[in-house]
Chains A and B, each alone.
Chain A
């Protein structure tokens, strides 16, 4: 403790208060006595259920495609990966509305690709649960690849070297050696991607619309409840905040490793 001077201590206090106070205030506004009935209202429960299963599906897809992507980014030709990386990480810092515009530009009925899908099949992605999942994959995958690429880069080299000497194929190098070694990083990335997909709001409301049970997700329910029923909005928000704190707490060691090495 003595290593920290008063100046840094003061500014750090301000910084933590800026973050901690609103969260405390949020919990202070929760109608604890009616919490359970508010969370089990049809609208709330539908939104929670929809959010949980769509975010889990999105996470599955993030892992399925994102882990190989992280492998390519870690082991591929830097001249190629250095160009690809900024694009696949962009959604981390992209405003949600811009993400929504991008998804519409591609998959809307008049979108670059959506136009042809609609002409040929009569189906379009906006206003479907698929759109909710797609938005989740779009915003979640970058978090997964960010962590997993870093994990792949810092795996102990000896086993991979030994395998290469034994002429293991690139395929089994990935499946038999890198993947098991990277399982902690993959789990961390998956949890971050899940949390991001669960909390996704802006891109989803623009791209998927809002219909109870079909596309109206948990964060969206909060947004609509504010106009009508503030207490339920607080109840739904507080559970979301608890989840977020829980996620970061459970990942405290992994996160420190992922960003220090």
Chain B
């Protein structure tokens, strides 16, 4: 009897969920994992001003998101950490707008047992460091920065799938250092120190945002994009450490 009641309750919950949200449009936003904190906050602000829109975010490596879009994933908006990855989905996103840039820095754990004060300290014995996989935008930027710098001879212990998994492993203390975005350093400045490359151009990646042409929620997606690109949105992005692109 109890079991039946339980099953009935579960079934009722499932029926009730869609009913409770009738009249609300779900807008699916694919965004680079490095945007997760800022976009989550932007999303909250936006939703409280637009109660009829619910933003559903998928934060992953832009390379993965681009591959998913090319495989037909039902997204309405894509914010990519690189212009290359958004260009790969031209068939679905014919137009995109570059909006901010970010740069790769070396993040060092404050509690690291090995002293790391400069890039070449990565060559010290016993240092464990990680970076993004070569296909993710953060990996592309890291590879470029390292090849211009040319003096790091040790190898990473892992090539992580996305920027967010690199940061998570660094902040959780599994490695001593990692190549992360400046914005991720800003978000975790209590636990990390950052070492910058002297060259600023090679470390940079430009973020671009665009509407999926076959989206069913074009209007709502467009409106959220307008909010991201508004003075308010760009201010929040700048506070997170992104650099505004001068048009």
Contact = CB atoms under 8 A, between A and B. Distances in A.
Interface of A: 104, 108-110, 122, 124, 126-128, 205, 208-212, 214-216, 223-224, 226-228, 230
Contacts of B113: 122
A109 B173 contact: yes
A227 B158 contact: no
Interface in B166-221: 169, 172-175
Nearest to A209: B158
Contacts of A110: 172-174
A120 to B, nearest CB: 12
Given A216-B159, A227-B64, 10 more contacts: A109-B174, A124-B174, A127-B130, A127-B158, A205-B161, A223-B161, A226-B64, A227-B61, A228-B67, A228-B135
Contacts of A205: 161
Contacts of B130: 127, 209
B156 interface: yes
Nearest to B176: A109
A32 to B, nearest CB: 21
Contact of B157 (A127, A226, A230): A127
14 contacts: A104-B174, A122-B113, A124-B174, A126-B174, A211-B157, A211-B158, A212-B159, A224-B133, A226-B64, A227-B63, A227-B135, A227-B136, A228-B63, A228-B135
B64 A215 contact: no
A191 B130 CA distance: 34
Question: Nearest 4 pairs between A and B by C-beta?
Answer: A209-B158, A127-B157, A227-B63, A227-B67
Nearest to B67: A227
B143 interface: no
Secondary structure dominating the interface of A: loop
B66, B160, B161, B174 — most chain A CB neighbours (10 Å): B174
A115 B212 CA distance: 47
A127 B135 contact: no
Contacts, number: 62
Contact of B159 (A122, A210, A227, A228): A210
Contact of A215 (B61, B135, B158, B173): B158
Chain B interface residue bracket vs A: 20 to 34
B128 interface: yes
A180 to B, nearest CB: 44
A228 B173 CA distance: 30
Contacts of B63: 227-228
B185 to A, nearest CB: 20
Contacts of B64: 226-227
A152 B135 CA distance: 50
B173 A127 contact: no
Nearest to B129: A127
Contacts of B133: 210, 224
Contacts of B135: 224, 227-228
B165 to A, nearest CB: 9
Given A227-B67, A228-B63, A209 B173 contact: no
Nearest to A110: B173
A122 B169 contact: no
Nearest to B168: A206
Contact of B160 (A209, A212, A214, A228): A209
Contact of A209 (B61, B66, B157): B157
Contacts of A122: 113, 126
A230 B63 CA distance: 13
Interface string B127-146: 01010010110000000000
A198 B63 CA distance: 26
Contacts of A127: 128, 130, 157-158, 174-175
A107 to B, nearest CB: 10
B87 to A, nearest CB: 15
Contacts of B160: 209-210
Interface string B21-53: 000000000000000000000000000000000
Interface string B50-85: 000000000001011011000000000000000000
